[in-house]
Amino acid sequence: MLTSRLSLRLVRHARRSYRVLALESSCDDSCVALLEKQTPAGRPIVVDHYKSTLSSAAAGGIIPTAAQVFHNYTIGGLVDKMATTYNFDQNPPDLICVTKGPGMAGSLTASIQLAKGLALAWKVPLVGVHHMLGHLLTPQLDVDVKYPFLSLLCSGGHTMLVYSKSVGHHEVIINTMDIAVGDSLDKCAREIGFYGNQLAREMEKYIRNNPWPAETTATVTEPPIDLALGLPMKGPKYLRFPDKIEFTFASFLSRVQTTLKRHPDAIDEKQRQYMAHHIQNMAFDHIIDRINVALMIHGTNKKLCPTADGKFDGVIDIVCSGGVAANKSLRHKLSHNLKFRETLGHEPTFHFPPLDLCTDNAIMIGLAGIGQFEKLRIMSDMSMVARPKWPINELMDESWVHVDDATYDKVTKYNS
Ligand code: AMP
Ligand code: ZN
């Protein structure tokens, strides 16, 4: 399961300082990673990682109880493989990191219980990690992302724009009021005849192989089916600069379903081609449109928005992560259509993690766990339980155990 990009980073015989075993099973991926940290200021190195994904194609979506059984069945074997390969008998990891939330309760608990057992057996500290912090910090494996920065997290379970001032301080600027963009695209794709796992990804491949002709004034293409998706939350009944900015993706799905009801016969290839293109395009245009509203409200240009509060002043970096951030069309729209220069006076620097790190993985959990342990000095104890709903702005609002100097020194071994 190693990809070529990640395998380049594998370090099997590097000088050892301290090693971190990370477990992630918040949704349908069972993941285990081993990271190594050699110096206080250095970036963690990925020693190895494994991932196994539940197949939900036949079920038509992820069933939480099936995911829980899958993780209970799988995660122990992945840890055992890592333990054998890296000789944990003689040389156990120094820190265990495990996703505490958000996610599905049963899925999270499968790894949490195993992580507690390992921490007890090896007598090493345990860190319950915030899954979204993992997505936010992923680019830091390769580069320094400077605070404050913005992150667009768009996956099967989340779609949000987050403003981060430091490792422990995050504010959700836009959230979805219904379902996530990945969920919506997956379900729309299923409606128009795609089959399998991660249907939004399959739909992107299909669109690239079957592009709908771009419209110009010379060639206006008549849609082959009456699906007309507008940009949500636009129009006279909506405030241009609302108090609360939100995404909505459920309306795309219901429009697709009602259109298909009007056409009970199976759609033909041209209609599918148009629908796939139109659905993906409008969902991404909606993301761009809402981020532009946030940029105007929190930018510094009072001509564009008289009440602009300047909160985003100083933001240069934008992280785009989560499974949907792998989409090339979304990346193109973000790079070309955001009003960054107009609202903040300069162009942003985008950070798109490598495709294999955009989706859920345990590497990001190890990375975020190291951040929580070293920078925030917070860890967990044996009373840790899953927190299925856990807004990232409430990261510090937990009964954390303080990492004292003795524990820090015992784990980090930087001077040994
Ligand atoms: P995650 O929830 O982060 O594991 O990501 C899974 C979601 O990302 C699913 O909804 C996938 O269909 C979606 N996804 C993965 N790759 C792509 C892609 N290239 N384009 C659009 N969506 C994608
Ligand atoms: Zn995720």
Mind listing the pLDDT tens digit for each residue in 65-107?
999 999 999 999 999 999 999 999 999 999 999 999 999 999 9
Protein residues placing their CB within 5 Å of the ion ligand 2: 155, 360
- Identify the pLDDT of residue 8: 42
For the Cβ of 326 lying below 6 angstroms from any atom of ligand 1, the answer is yes
Residue at 106: amino acid letter:
G
Residue nearest ligand 1's atom 4 by CA: 359
Mean pLDDT of 257-263: 94
For residue 29, the ligand 1 atom closest to its alpha carbon is 4
Q: Which residue puts its alpha carbon closest to atom 11 of ligand 1?
A: 198
Residue 221 has pLDDT above 80, yes or no: no
Q: Which ligand is nearest to the CA of 53?
A: 1
Atom of ligand 1 nearest to the CA of 280: 21
Binding site membership of 204 for ligand 1 (Cβ less than 6 Å) = yes
Tens digits of per-residue pLDDT, 101-114?
999 999 999 999 99
Mean pLDDT, the chain, as a whole number? 92
Cβ of 26 below 6 Å from ligand 1: no
Of residues 265 and 297, the one with the higher pLDDT is 297
Statement: residue 332 has pLDDT above 90: yes
* pLDDT value at residue 415: 62
Tell me the CA–centroid distance for residue 96 and ligand 2, in Å.
Answer: 19
Contacts of 36 (CB under 8 A, 6+ apart): 11, 14, 16, 17, 18, 19, 20, 44, 45, 47
Q: Where are the domains of the chain?
A: 18-142+359-412, 149-352
- The domain defined by 149-352 folds into Nucleotidyltransferase; domain 5 (3.30.420)
- 43: which residues sit within 8 A by CB, 6+ positions away? 140, 141, 142
pTM, to two decimals: 0.90
Give the model's pLDDT for residue 76.
97
Ligand nearest the Cα atom of residue 156: 1
Nearest residue to 199 (alpha-carbon basis) of 280, 264, 258: 280
pLDDT of res. 13: 45
**Tokens coding 184:** 């919506």
* Segment holding 23, helix H or strand E: strand 18-24
- Atom 16, ligand 1: residue with shortest CA distance: 201
- Say yes or no: domain 18-142+359-412 is CATH 3.30.420.40: yes
CA of 74 to the centre of ligand 2 (A): 19
* Shortest-distance atom of ligand 1 to CA 180: 10
8 Å CB contact between 110 and 387 = no
Question: How confident is residue 15, by pLDDT bands cut at 50, 70 and 90?
Answer: low
323 ligand 1 Cβ < 6 A: yes
Instruction: Answer yes or no: is the C-beta of 134 below 6 A from any ligand 1 atom.
Output: no
Q: What is the pLDDT of residues 26-36, one digit of tens each?
A: 988 999 999 99
